[in-house]
Amino acid sequence: MVVYALLTMGVVLTAVLYGLHTLRKEYRPLLRALCQREEDPEGPDGDGEEEGQ
């Protein structure tokens, strides 16, 4: 039973760590860029009217 619990927790931990890794790798830079754009819509990252034209 201990082996089974060990294996279960190992698999769950793998999934959780992969989730944290994805959040860090994919979402953090994107959200940072989006927040920056919200604060400064006319900036280089934004797509304000001037840039659109």
Partner 1 sequence: MNAVSWTVAVTLLAFGLVGLCMARKIRNGDSFYIMEEKAPTLFLVCGICMSYISVVTMSTGPGICYEKGPFVLLTTAQPGAWLGMLVAVLFIGRKMKAIGCYTMPEYFAKRFSDGNVTFLALIIMVAGMELYGVSQLVSIGRILSEATGLRYPWVVLLLTLAIMLFCVPGGTWSIMMTDTLMFVVVLVTAVVVCPAIIAVVYPEAVQALPEAFWSVRGTGGGSAASGFSQLILWFTFFAGSPVIITRVFPAKNDFAVFKAAVISVVLIAVISFLLYFTAGLMRGVEPELTDRDWVMFQAFLQHAPPVLGLVGVAGVLTAAVSTSAVLFCLAGFSISRDFFSLLNPDKQQEANNVRRARIAQAFAVGLGGVAALLYPSSGYDLSVFACGIFAASWLPAILMSLLWKRYHAAAAFYGMLSGAMVLTVLQALLTAEVLALPDMMHYILSMGVSILVSVAVALRWPAGPGNVRRHYQIRNAQLSDQVVREARTSPGALPLLLRDYHRMRRTLLLAAAVTAGGLLGLCLVFYRLVGGG
Q: 27 vs 9, 36, 49, CA distance in Å?
A: 26, 14, 26
Share in percent of the chain as helix, strand, coil (round to 5): 80, 0, 20
Q: Does 16 bind partner 1 (CB under 8 A)?
A: yes
- For the bound state, the minimum distance from the C-beta of residue 52 to partner 1, rounded and expressed in Å, comes to 13
Decide: is 22 part of the binding site for partner 1 (CB under 8 A): yes
Residue 1, interface with partner 1 (CB under 8 A)? Answer: yes
Summarize as ranges the residues that interact with partner 1 (CB under 8 A).
Answer: 1-20, 22-23, 26-27, 30-31, 34-35, 38
